Amino acid sequence: MKTEAKFNEARCTETHLLKIFEAVSRERLLDTALRLLGKPSRTGEAADAADELEAVLSADGFLVQRSTAGYPAAPAVAVRYSSGSPGRTLQFNGHLDTVHLPFVPPQVVGDRLTGSGAADMKAGIAAAVEALRAVRDAGALAGGDILLTAHDMHEAPWGDGRQLDALIAERFVGDAVLIPEYFNELLPIIGRGGFSWTAQIRRPGPPVHEVLRPNEPSVIAAGVKLASRLEQLNTALSSKLHPMAGSESMFIGSIQSGAIYNEYPQTCRIEGTRRWLPGTRFVDANREFRELCREIADTTGTSIDVETRLMRDSFELDPQDPFVAIFQSAYRTTTGEMLPFGGKPFVDDGNSFWSSAGIPAITHGPTAGGAHTTSEWVNIDDLVRVARLYALIATIYCPPTN
């Protein structure tokens, strides 16, 4: 691994680097980002943004593929740029959908680009597109391919990851993946998986005044018992701890019941998340939660309707994987530093590539903020840095095989 990284790094002469870096156009990158951000694309509604990305790439001379990938309302976008020689495939991947908040049009404010999707993660996709252009324009891909993919149905709870899952099943995958999400302080090598859950507790009768309440179980009392058991489970799970990724958990984020103070309510709704480390399986965590809810229903005389929604499975990246060394080599070449290893605080597409296909994935994007709010922003200079880094990684990762 180290020998390969050093050999490929030797190709990065000053002239080679200058050629790649000069091929990255700040103006062209910013224009692409503005065009993507200008198209509202809430999860499940990213068709216009996908069409705009196709138009951008087609105008640049790339052959674009559109796969419905399990969601015909917004076919995914894929471009494969080949060196014409055998070699590995490096994939750039991102999601075009944004959370369901009021649309904020894009705007350049000083050194920042703002608007819906600026941080999460249309601007990152624009940087990946610019890296693809730069490699082509510089004639810097000596072997293998670059595959760029972008899709909808990412953001929970509106999306369930089905489009990326379908792309992976259809083999729109590389040998390694770069994901330009807004995270760059660490090189994430581990991350928790998670599902969101809802438990709806019911009794048979309708809501009534509390002085007329029937001889039926209290859904609030049942909710208290369920919450107590879930907190006990959370305490037990906290012993499953990783120094970088944190602990496994059972979290309650919302409890709702009743309309006014003296109504005997019919339902109690509890919502939260369950997160786990590599080594725990979603199917087991899901079964454990459902069995606990069934036990509470039996002992309280209520019924509990349970819904669980997988966000992503857990994620782990071998620090000794050659892709890690190549990433660090390129990062050191461009910044003079190495990134420390750490945990990924959120779930993203890298979790799916690892759990579904065993493909090494590194999340590294521009400096940004305000994700999942109406105040998203991204640093434009750092978008340029990411584009240059991705272009350089491609030239190192995809050397000629002969």
pLDDT score, position 11: 53
| Same-domain check for residues 233 and 181 | no
The torsion defined by the Cα of 131, 135, 138 and 140, in degrees rounded to 10, comes to: 140
pLDDT score, position 7: 36
Looking at 290, 312, 334, the residue that finishes a domain is: 312
Q: What is the pLDDT of residues 135-144, one digit of tens each?
A: 999 999 999 9
| Same-domain check for residues 203 and 301 | yes
Q: What is the pLDDT of residues 68-100, one digit of tens each?
A: 999 999 999 999 999 999 999 999 999 999 999
State how many domains the chain has: 2
Angle in degrees, CA 187, 188, 194, rounded to 5: 165
- Residue for token pair 């090494």: 360
pLDDT score, position 6: 43
Q: Is residue 269 part of a domain?
A: yes
Q: Is residue 402 part of a domain?
A: no
Q: What is the pLDDT of residues 374-384, one digit of tens each?
A: 999 999 999 99
Q: Is residue 6 part of a domain?
A: yes
What is the domain extent for residue 246? 193-312
Who contacts 303 (Cβ-Cβ below 8 Å, separation ≥6)? Answer: 201, 202, 203, 297
Radius of gyration of the chain (CA): 24
Looking at 274, 297, 312, the residue that finishes a domain is: 312
| Same-domain check for residues 344 and 297 | no
| Same-domain check for residues 296 and 324 | no
pLDDT score, position 178: 98
Q: Which residues of the chain have pLDDT under 50?
A: 1-10
CATH code (residue 197): 3.30.70.360
Report helix angle 380-397 to 2-9, nearest 10. Answer: 110
pLDDT score, position 399: 74
Looking at 312, 330, 358, the residue that finishes a domain is: 312
| Same-domain check for residues 21 and 118 | yes
| Same-domain check for residues 197 and 175 | no
| Same-domain check for residues 30 and 148 | yes
pLDDT score, position 400: 63
Q: What is the pLDDT of residues 160-177, one digit of tens each?
A: 999 999 999 999 999 999
CATH code (residue 352): 3.40.630.10
| Same-domain check for residues 361 and 295 | no
pTM for this model (two decimals): 0.90
| Same-domain check for residues 304 and 203 | yes
